[in-house]
Structure 1
């Protein structure tokens, strides 16, 4: 696209795809496309000569509007603008001092920055300018100047960065408004389709995962006001199983355990759902409804059947078909897929731990109890292998003899791998 001069078409197409992804509530894809757009724009910016001076400069601008604050950075190397970035600042709203916010940003940013330029242009004076300048000089190994330009080309650079920062803030707010608008529309459509009295502000979705009749697990993911609330996710190891898959029975167990914990006031489960969504058909839906009946709860429940993406309701002979392009369908698909991903991730984690325990049981002196303690302490075989003999011996339940056997086991394994 670039070599044939079609870069604007490329950007236009990427922006169209990003807008479409956002409208479909596919925010992860929208974010990836946004990053691609920024990368393309940075490639184009490298062609722009900003300054006749062949120095390396970082230009920093600060803007604040409607309670939001952002910093924009231009990276100028050898007089050419090679890239830019913007950062949304937390806690730098209307009441915060702008120059203090800039100073804190400079200190935090250059703590980990890969490159320190010869000159840093700031929008205002900072109290610790001489201290920060000396620190940057020590990091760079040569002279660094902190400058607050008041006129000329340098001032125009800061003003240009400020304009970009305002644009970035407005774009961020526009994206947020679009997300909230689409999410609200999706919840209203879903409430109408399910004949709910009001949009479900908290949706909990449940899924079951197992592999070859082992590592039976359940997941609960939460969507609040149309956004996935990852801090609310919960996972369950299935207790009642006969070493063979029985998804409806397992769904009933997980839903029952979660809601019972909520009724009993357990802190992690005090928020109750407005809608329960299960991954599956009539069997899973009936199982979840049975758990609700048993606990005397009247919470709406439905299932999303994979094959035709239909909503299954308890005691309803006909499923509900959401329009193919509806925001409600995009939302429930996204929630269901997230529950599936979360369940599989937990199952894979447990399988890995089981395989680790099996490997440890080959070591003389390591039984199930010590194997569990080692996994709890180190987390993985790789970390155990890196541990010293003393660190292995310090693990609860271990003694020197068992630690030596395990340490030697890892050394022998290294020899086998090299051979």
Structure 2
């Protein structure tokens, strides 16, 4: 019998909790927790991590003292390491434990990976564990709107103020432009509506990047065979990783820069480059590649037609990015290598989820910029037409805000555009182009 993974035998001693995280999924554990593990002062910075809703993942990690195996899967082979930076794990329903961490004077940093959908005004954070399935029921109702991400943060800041705690940094690590300011705004609006008085907080904007596919059942067996330890919650990721941060940390932070993170005065150019080229490219492949029968990013990018569409979209987006052309070309070449990695099974179905939340930040900025210069961008049109067909023909769509797309194709195109941006529903040239592309792609 394979012995279980334990901190005493396989990890390092648990660090004192000075960081709190919401969204205990694969991406967090391959990214923020990994950077913390590799910071030279990691022994001072333990993380208490909460799921959005699931109790299963928290239970599996708790049984092995919060540590887990990170499998870095390159084209030439796998590398295995034990990550010990997560000191405590909790299910999303453990509200009193959540508030107790906020009352601790030593708490300095709160990070989030709750997916794009978690930032909707009335969207519950229950279940927003990026890269993990969700099982189990929601926790106790914490009050009006306090089951949302904003409510969870506001409740914590209110508890910290009542306890006399000092300022903390709140760090959004989700794929949204200006995610720090967006987080601040949604917390302040909820607090004002609920009459809450909050402790001071600095909101940090970040760009995060590391492809971390949904875990596969065979990963557990692989880790056991290679390492000789039974790990119930391994994470598989790619070799590439990037983290760009902009903002203040009034109570301190780990030395993430020594682990490769970059601190800048303006994160917007990096956000746009990643959102439009990587994430926008993923959305293109998710919808258009699926129509050609592909199931993973690697399969789709190996298709000459999909690769041509990707190059077309990137050319449109690159016109509006604030980087030198050679740097953008090198970034795109690196993306092609990352997308083509056959050993990273990044499923198109997973990427296709919540398109109504993703497309406005991945595709629409480029579309608007192209329309402003009088162009009708074929790359952006192709993505929107493929998404429209996905809504009409994919069966059950995993997108809580997805518009109805049945009926005549032209009416469906107008409805779908209105769901993304009401102003686009009046752009008859764009609607004509989307309908024509949809009919050409899938007559």
Same structural fold, with TM-score higher than 0.5 when normalized by the shorter chain = no
Higher relative contact order (CA 8 A, sep 6+): 2
* TM-score, normalised via structure 1 length: 0.29
Which structure is larger by alpha-carbon Rg, 1 or 2?
Answer: 1
* TM-score, normalised via structure 2 length: 0.28
Task: Answer 1 or 2: which has greater strand percent.
Answer: 1
